[in-house]
Amino acid sequence: MTSIIFFRTDEGVTAYTDGSAYDAQGVFGQKSSKTAIFMHQPAIVAHKGSGNAGNLYNAFAARHATYDELCDGMADDLVQVSTYARLLFGDAINLLVTAGGFSDRTGRFEAQSMFFSLDDAGKMNANALKADPVDTIIIDPWPDETLMEAIGKKHATGNCGVGDEFVIDVMEAQRATKYTLHPPPNNHTKGCLVGAFIQKTVLMRDDAYTRIIHEWPDEIGQKLGRELETEND
């Protein structure tokens, strides 16, 4: 699963993702970048869920000449990369892709998300392949409501206040929230699914950059968020 916080303005789009890859029990396996920049379109893509399928999707997304073409081809690309990932790696597919970029059709920055899921039997989720426009911001997954209320009171601002400090607070809340690590029926184990680092990626009309803005003390081979379990004991 992991985390995506994605927002757009008239000036550009920004994606924040964490950098953890973990197994069905929440054990940290490796650090991973989940965001790609395509300056020729221009667009950025962030993914969460099945890492193998997400990395394959980036290769497909890069082939498109414009951001609008990327969005038009998103459903077909997701079906193809999910099929390949299933054949190559045996993965059950549960993948969310969010793309943002400059649209030649509308003359402004746009963003959209799309979800695709195949269970172990190869059955597609009924809600898959539906384009979901990003009006201003998405936060996925949503943290514990009490924690989010505290964050809202702390920042007490609208979308203009979305920035690094806000995002770090939200991902800390996600990290403290127990989620189902992989979708049923494959697994019902709950635990921490956000870790390693926070990567910020910004795209503007003629420029882009990416950097690490926060790191956590997760150790490869150990469960994510072990320090939170210690604090709660």
Sign for the pseudo-dihedral over CA of 43, 30, 173, 56: positive
Residue 106: CB atoms within 10 Å = 9
pLDDT digits (tens, 9 = 90+) for 130-182: 899 988 899 999 999 999 999 988 887 555 457 899 999 999 999 999 988 76
| Average model confidence (pLDDT) across the chain | 88
Domain that holds residue 55: 4-232
Q: DSSP state, 153?
A: H
Strands 20-22 and 208-215: unpaired
pLDDT digits (tens, 9 = 90+) for 31-84: 999 999 999 999 999 999 887 888 999 999 999 999 999 999 999 999 899 888
CATH of the domain at 28: 3.60.20.10
Structure tokens belonging to residue 199:
């990567």
Cα–Cα distance measured from residue 64 to residue 81, given in angstroms and rounded to the nearest whole number? 15
pLDDT of residue 181: 75
Nearest to 54 by CA among 13, 11, 5, 2: 2
Nearest to 49 by CA among 120, 97, 114: 97
pTM greater than 0.75 (yes/no) = yes
Q: Give the CA dihedral 84, 86, 92, 94, nearest 10 degrees.
A: 0
Number of independent structural domains in the chain: 1
Helices 145-155, 164-176: crossing angle, 10 deg rounding: 160
